[in-house]
Structure 1
Amino acid sequence: METRTKSIWSGSIAFGLINIPIKIFSAVQESKLEMDMLDKNDFSNIKFKRVNENTGKEVSYSDIVKGYKLDEKYVIVEDSDFDAVEPEKTKTIEIMNFVDEKEIDTIYYEQPYYLEPDKGAAKAYALLRDAMQASGKVGVGAIILRNRESLVILKPYKNTIVLNRIRFQEEIRDTADLKLPPASEKNTKEMDMAIKLVEQLTEEFDITNYKDNYTAKLLKIIEDKAKGKKQVAPKLKVVHKQDADLMAMLKASLEKKKSKSS
C-alpha cells in the first residue's frame, strides 16, 4: 500500500473575505541518482556529525538552537520569535492582487507546490481555482515557509491550485558586471538567417518530449560496471568558431534541418 505524502505546511488562503483552509505538498521530486560518500580505502560510508566547535564532542539535534550574532554576541532565536514577526503570515497566504502570468519573468520562479483543500474548503477552493482559470489571472501573495518569507503566485494547474515560490527583486543579481556583447545589428544577412533557423526549429511545447537521459545513461553505466564491463568515455571535440564562420554555420544548420524533414 502506497503511503500518502506528508504535507509540509497547513494554513489558509485569504481571498477577499473568504478564508480557504489548505495543506501544502511538494510538487516536484528529484530524478537524479542518490550517491553515497565513501572512504576510497575500504568503501565505508562517510558520516557527518554535528560537533561542538570548542569541545569537539558531538551534539544531539535536540540540543541545537539557532542564534544570530549581534555585537559579537549570539542572541538565541526560538520558534516563538519567528512566529512573532508577522503571526498572520505564519498561517495565512493572503492574495494581495491578481496579475497576468506573462508579466512575471521566468527568472523569478523558484519552487512549485501543490495546494489541497482542507476539510470543508472544497467549494471555496474550486471557486478560486476556476475563477483564475476563467480570467486567465494568477494571484500574488506571501507566505512564511521554513522561517523565511517568500513571495508566491497561485495559479490553476489541471484540477489543482499550484503555489509557485518566486524570488524578490533584491534577490536577482544585476547583469552590469557581466562582459556581454552589444545588441546585434538588425536587417543583416546573419540576423535574417538566424531568425529563419529559430522559426524552422519552432514547435509546440510538449513537456513529455523531454526526458532525463543523463540519469538513465548514468544508471546504465553503473549497472554495466557492476557486471565488469569496461567503460570507454566518448571523445568530445569542442570547436570554437570565429565570427567569420557564422554565415556558413547558419547555412549548414538550415540545410541540416531541411534534410531531416525530407
Structure 2
Amino acid sequence: MRAIWKGALTFGLVNVPVKVYSATEDHDVSLHQVHAADGGRIRYQRICELDGEVVPYQEIDRAYDDGERTVILTKSDFASLPSERSREIDVVEFVPSEQVDLLTLDKAYYLEPDSASPKAYVLLRKTLEQTDRTAIVRFSLRQKTRLAALRVRGEVLVLQTLLWADEVRDAAFPSLDESVRISAKELELSASLVESFSSDFDPSAFTDEYQQELRTLIDAKLEQGDALDTSATFGTHEESDAGAEVIDLMDALRASVERSRAARKNDASSESDPSATKSVKKSASA
C-alpha cells in the first residue's frame, strides 16, 4: 500500500504522527465503453466552449457561478486555505461507540504510526478499546473538511469519514404513518425465522456472484467469440416470485421457518457425514 497523506493525530497535548492509507479497494472487473457498431473505443475530451480546443487536465481550474458573476478559483487559491494547509487530525470528542450511526459511515482509512516509537499510537488504541469509545475527529483532505470516526480494528487504528448531518436524508413514508397491528403469534414466528437464520458473521464466506459471473462471461467470449451461447454457460433464466406480494403473512412465516430449519438440518447432516456430500456431488454430476 502507498500512503496518501501524512500528518498527526492530536488530542490535548498528545501528538501522534501517522501515515494514512486507503483501507478498501474496488474488485469490480474494469470495463470501458466502445461504439456498438464497430467496437471503437469511446474517449472523453475536455473541450473549451470559447475556442473549441481540447484542454489538458493540468490547465483546468474551477469556478463558482452565482447566476450573475463567475469567480475562478485556481489551485493556488485552494492551497492557500488554512484548513487545506493543516496536517493535523484533531480529536474533537470521545463518544460511546454505539452512538455512531452506521448510516453516516463513509470511506475508511488505515492509520500507521509514523515515528521512531509507536507508544503514543498504541496508548490511544488501547484506551479506545478499554473505554469502548470512538473518537470523533476533524481534518482536511483533498480540498474538503472531513468529520470522521476513529476506532480500533484489530491492532490498527481506522479512520472512517462521516457524512455531515445535512447529507443524510430524513425518511418520511406515509405508509408508515398508518397504525399496523402485529399479533403475538406473528412476532413469535418472525423471531423463530430470525433464530433459524442466526449465525456468526464471516465476511469471507460471501462472494460477489455478479463479478464472478461477469469474469466467466468474459473468459467464455474470449474463447468462443460472439458465437457464445450464454444459456449453455449459465443455464436458462427462470423468473423468481420472490418479489410477489405476500397474501397470508402467517402462512409465509410458517413455511419460511420450516424451510430454513430443513435446510440447516441437511447442512448439519452433510458436515457430519462426508460420504453423504460425496454422494450428492456424484448424483449432481450424473
Quote the RMSD (CA, aligned, Å). Answer: 2.1
Mapped to 2, the partners of 1:78 and 1:92 lie a distance apart of: 24
Structure 1 residues without counterparts, runs of 5 or longer? none
Number of the residue aligned with 1:256: 259
Letter matched to residue 98 of structure 1: F
Query: Greater shift after overlay, 103-112 or 232-241?
Result: 232-241
Residue matched to 1:20: 16
Instruction: Pick the structure with greater CA Rg.
Output: 2
Q: Corresponding residue for 1:145? A: 141
Alpha-carbon distance between aligned partners in 2 of 1:79 and 1:62, rounded to the nearest angstrom: 10
Q: Which has the higher helix share?
A: 2
* Distance of aligned partners of 1:236 and 1:217 in 2 relative to their CA distance in 1, 3 Å threshold: same
Cα offsets for 1:92-146 (capped at 9, x unmatched): 1100111122111111011101111213352211111121122221100112111
- Change over 3 Å in CA distance of 1:227–1:88 after alignment to 2: closer
The 3 A distance-change label for structure 1 pair 248 and 145 is same
Return the letter of the residue paired with 1:108: T
Question: Per-residue deviation at 1:238?
Answer: 3.3
For the 8 Å contact 1:13–1:22, the answer to whether it is kept is yes
Q: Work out the CA distance in 1 between the residues paired with 2:132 and 2:44.
A: 48
- Flag the 1:69–1:120 CA change in 2: closer, same or farther, 3 A: farther
- Relative CO higher for 1 or 2, CA cutoff 8 Å, sep ≥ 6? 1
Q: Pick from 237, 241, 246: which aligns with 1:238?
A: 241
CA contact (8 A) 1:14 1:93 kept: yes
- TM (norm. structure 2) is 0.82
- Name which of structure 1's ranges 62-71 and 146-155 shifts more when overlaid on structure 2: 62-71
Q: Does 1:170 align with 2:166?
A: yes
The change in CA–CA distance for 1:105 and 1:192 in structure 2 (over 3 A counts) is same
SS state of the match for residue 82, structure 1?
Answer: helix
In the alignment, structure 2 segments of 5+ residues that lack a partner are 266-286
Amino acid in the other structure paired with 2:142: R
Tell me the secondary structure at the aligned position of residue 136 of structure 2. Answer: strand
SS of the residue corresponding to residue 173 of structure 1 reads: coil
> Is the Cα–Cα contact under 8 Å of residues 23 and 118 in structure 1 kept in the other structure?
yes
Is 1:75 matched up with 2:47? no
CA contact (8 A) 2:78 2:84 kept: no
User: For this pair of structures, how many residues does the alignment match?
Assistant: 257
Partner of 2:280: none
Distance (whole Å) between structure 2 residues aligned to residue 163 and residue 180 of structure 1: 38
Instruction: Indicate if the aligned counterparts of 1:89 and 1:142 stay in contact, CA closer than 8 A.
Output: no
In the alignment, is residue 45 of structure 1 matched against residue 44 of structure 2?
no
Structure 1 length normalisation: TM-score?
A: 0.90
- Given candidates 119, 124, 131, the residue that maps to 1:123 is 119
